Amino acid sequence: MAKGKAGKIEAARPATPASEPVSTATPSVAPASTSVTTAVAASATAVVAAPLARGALGTGGAPSIASRSPRSAGAKASRRAPLRSAPRGSTIPASPALMSATPSSGLASRTSSSSHPVRLAKGAAPALSSSPLVTTITRIVGVVPTPIRVLIGALVALALAMAARSRLTARRARRAEQQRRELLEDVGLLQAALLPVTPARLGPVGTSTAYRPAAGPAAGGDFYDVFALEDGKLAVIVGDVSGHGRKALPHTALLRFTLRAYLEAGLSPRDAVQTAGTVLERQLGGSFATVVAATYHPRERRLIYASAGHPPPIVLGGGSPAEPLEPVTASSSPPIGVGRPTGIRQSIVSVPGRAQICFFTDGVTEARVGGELYGAQRLGSALGELGPQATAAELLERVAQSTDARPDDMAACLLQVEGGDAPPSALEEELELDRDEASSERTERFLAACGVAPEDAAQIMRAARDAAERSGSVLLELRHGPGGSPEVSLRQHNLTYLPARHAARQADLRMSI
């Protein structure tokens, strides 16, 4: 029956030449029984002919001269616009005449399609106008398993954490850079105010100084100074103030310039240290300092030094072998600012020949070699190995190479004295005593260290106590004669000692530099 209807429709449609436009109007003489089939065929023809009509028109709307076969046009149209399956009992003709496309037929087809919309077949997906990249990503995301998605999320969280850590590291780096600038400012202030550039020579004496800071966040309180005095003499000041950084700098500058002023005024090293200790006791504000002050007279070839809690200088002769002079450290003066009288000891050394005189801070001798201190003995040996032309910088470099740890700053001042091979020798020791100290055990140890016999020491102590009771204080002088037995004399001190304000602090004072 379907074939009969298709034949009737095909017979009812007149044949049209290829060169003339084809009218899509249905003849009025068509039988009534074929109206339903004709309507379905017209709808299918409109859907198929619409894209063909657009392709057949040129840019100006005129039909294209090139003709296409109905079969190829119908096949392309069917691929571009898939149709819904025809209902059961109806047929769609495949006549070539119905597949022809003209402008008028395209208009009719559009009109027909508007009145009879085409629906997609069940299960057919509409065409998406998305980019290939979006389509590819969508397909990939669709097939990614859940554990992989969790892993990707963890990686994203890790990336965010690393970004936060990087930002924190950058902030710490900026803070470290700021601290480094502050450290450079501290070191600059220390070098400008407390570590002056010393001349290579002061008269016949060669001088050199060096400073080596310890590993830490700020500059220390070590200081030194070498300058000329009247009558061709020169003076040396080396010290260490407790504390580090900006807080120690004012006290360091105060102590250095105070001692320099007293030495330039003509006071002896012991008197300069004693007076500075009395004056600066309150101004140090709870801090304390160790210091050694010295003068050297080239014509007399005498070195005079006084220390306050500071190690004595190393005096190394030019003989062979070079042996350092053994200093007398008994009854040494306490540091400045601890609430006790200081500046009570002074030593005079004769330097008749070639010698090296090394002043240093305790950071040099307290450097570590394994579990031991570097010590003054190793320092003297290193100075002898470097030779008479050694500099302070070379000495500190040798100490740094020989030690494992250097917890404190290191400073050194080196004097080079020309001459023969005569070794240096201790010439005189001075000790100031009051009523209590005259008969103390410390005084007895001092006399024994200077070579005084025990029976002579007891007689000297009784005489010193009697003199101190009459005048308040007495100066004990021991001169080493050629026979080896010291000559002892007592004389009244020409300065009145000003007692420290904080003497009560000496009982439980704990010192650390």
pLDDT for the residue 48? 39
**Strand 314-317, strand 302-308: pairing:** unpaired
Pairing label, strands 289-297, 302-308? antiparallel
3-state secondary structure 280-335: HCCCCCCCCEEEEEEEEECCCCEEEEEEECCCCCEEEECCCCCCECCCCCCCCECC
Cα(85)–Cα(184) distance, integer angstroms: 89
DSSP 486: E
- How does pLDDT run across 360-379, given as a tens digit for each residue? 999 999 999 988 999 999 99
Structural domain boundaries in the chain: 2-115, 140-193, 197-425
- Give pLDDT, residue 251: 87
Residue of 333, 290, 285 lying closest to 502 (CA atoms): 285
Output the pLDDT for position 57. Answer: 39
- 0.85 exceeded by the pTM? no
Q: Omega before 250 cis (within 30°)?
A: no
Q: Which residues contact 122 (CB under 8 A, 6 or more apart)?
A: none
How far apart, in whole angstroms, are the C-alpha atoms of residue 228 and residue 178?
Answer: 40
The CA-based angle 31-22-72, given to 5 degrees, is 105
Query: In the CATH hierarchy, which top-level class contains the domain 197-425?
Result: alpha beta
Pairing of strands 201-202, 205-212: antiparallel
Reported as a single tens digit per residue, the pLDDT across 251-299 is 888 999 999 999 999 999 999 999 999 999 888 878 899 999 999 999 9
pLDDT of residue 216: 53
Which parts of the chain have pLDDT scores under 70?
A: 1-130, 187-193, 215-220, 245, 320-321, 483-484, 493-513
Backbone phi and psi for residue 315, each to the nearest 5 degrees, phi listed first: -110, 110
